[in-house]
Amino acid sequence: MSSSCHSELQVFHCNVFCAQPYRGNQATVVCCPEPLHELTMQLLAREFNTPETMFMVMSEEQVSLRYFTPLKEVNSCAHGTLAAASVAFTCGYNQTPTWVELTTNNGLIRCYQEEDEQGPYYAFFAQQPQCEVLTDCAQDVLDSLRVNSQAIRGAYLTHFAGAASRLLLHLDEAQLLQLSPDWQKLHEVQQQQNLTALFAFSWQPNHKQHLKGRMFSPLMGINEDPVNGNSVIAFSCVLTHLCQSHGQSMPEEIHAQQGFNFDRDGTVRVALSTPEAPHNSVRLAGQVIQLYHFTMDVK
């Protein structure tokens, strides 16, 4: 559809990875009767100014989905996928009572609607990235985070197929909470090293909520993402190295706490071993709250 056409859009504002409103991560899902012009989508994403805005179009053949940060289009977003799945079920786009398939730039994603003792939630399978254990952390990264090399317990570079790399840094919890990055320097580091994001984390073996993390990506227009699912998927392959180093067995599920420094606490659940999981995949799950919904016209 050209940008000069008149279109009525259904807009949903969601909180993801949380059981209470105004927590977790924010996402905007826009249901479009027809595809919008790419520039229109980017301008709307900038206007909504949530970490991710998804544009969903239902046709007879498929439900298509595209992801935009305030600055650019991206190929995937975990919390955006869960928000879109929640809205798809609300709008009746689901192909069966228990799942909906979303067509994205990265391929087809089947999202499930399920419920446990904590309430309803949504889930999908995601491919694990490749992981490279680094011997040290580059000085420009340390400078951008305002930490010294002694603070880093481990550094890992993960590579998702068709996407830039994600740098993961292991710190103790006190250091993690105190991080105050230099956003301009970190933006430059991301450009120079082709990094989608940097995920700093602390990890406690033998503890159910054993992962705490903070994700930074000023290059994508998100200085700090409150609760980030893709980073926990990336951590799932780092966990193999950590468990081997500590002589620990692999847990069946990761419960990752994020958003604590925003007062937007959220929990990302990633199951590492499920019978139905495709090879080298993990199952990401989280709750979604549709906070409000409105209709708008775009010319």
Neighbouring residues of 146: CB distance < 8 A, sequence distance ≥ 6: 179, 180, 181, 182
> What is the reported pLDDT for 4?
37
Question: In the chain, which segments carry CATH 3.10.310.10?
Answer: 7-125+286-298, 129-277
pLDDT of 2 above 60: no
pLDDT digits (tens, 9 = 90+) for 65-76: 999 999 999 999
> What is the reported pLDDT for 18?
96
> What is the reported pLDDT for 200?
98
Q: Where are the beta strands (DSSP E) in 23-80?
A: 25-32, 52-58, 63-68, 73-74
Instruction: Grade residue 1 by pLDDT with cuts at 50, 70 and 90.
Output: very low
DSSP state of 152: -
Pairing mode, strands 25-32 and 52-58: parallel
**Residues 186, 191, 194, 197: what is their CA dihedral angle, to the nearest 10 degrees?**
30
Q: Using alpha carbons only, what angle is made at residue 191 by residues 186 and 195, rounded to the nearest 5 degrees?
A: 80
pLDDT of 163 above 80: no
> What is the reported pLDDT for 179?
97
Low-confidence winner among 55-59, 115-119, 194-198, 247-251 (lowest mean pLDDT) = 247-251
Low-confidence winner among 31-35, 110-114, 242-246, 271-275 (lowest mean pLDDT) = 271-275
Superfamily of domain 129-277: Diaminopimelate Epimerase; Chain A, domain 1 (3.10.310.10)
Burial of 209 (0-12, 13-18, 19+ CB in 10 A): exposed
Report the distance separating Cα 229 and Cα 284, nearest Å: 8
Q: Which pTM value belongs to this model?
A: 0.92
Instruction: Give the other-Cβ count within 10 Å of 19's Cβ.
Output: 17
pLDDT digits (tens, 9 = 90+) for 82-133: 999 999 999 999 999 999 999 999 899 999 999 988 889 999 999 999 999 9
> What is the reported pLDDT for 155?
97
Could you tell me what percent of the chain has a pLDDT over 90?
A: 79
> What is the reported pLDDT for 57?
96
pLDDT of 227 above 70: yes
Q: What is the mean pLDDT of the chain?
A: 92
> What is the reported pLDDT for 208?
53
pLDDT of 243 above 90: no
Instruction: Grade residue 45 by pLDDT with cuts at 50, 70 and 90.
Output: very high
Instruction: Give the other-Cβ count within 10 Å of 299's Cβ.
Output: 8
Neighbouring residues of 226: CB distance < 8 A, sequence distance ≥ 6: 24, 25, 26, 51, 258, 259, 262, 264, 266
pLDDT of 285 above 60: yes
Q: Which CATH architecture has domain 7-125+286-298?
A: Roll (3.10)
Could you tell me what percent of the chain has a pLDDT over 70?
A: 96
Instruction: Grade residue 40 by pLDDT with cuts at 50, 70 and 90.
Output: very high
Instruction: Grade residue 196 by pLDDT with cuts at 50, 70 and 90.
Output: very high
Low-confidence winner among 50-64, 157-171, 197-211, 263-277 (lowest mean pLDDT) = 197-211
pLDDT of 214 above 90: yes
Instruction: Give the other-Cβ count within 10 Å of 98's Cβ.
Output: 12
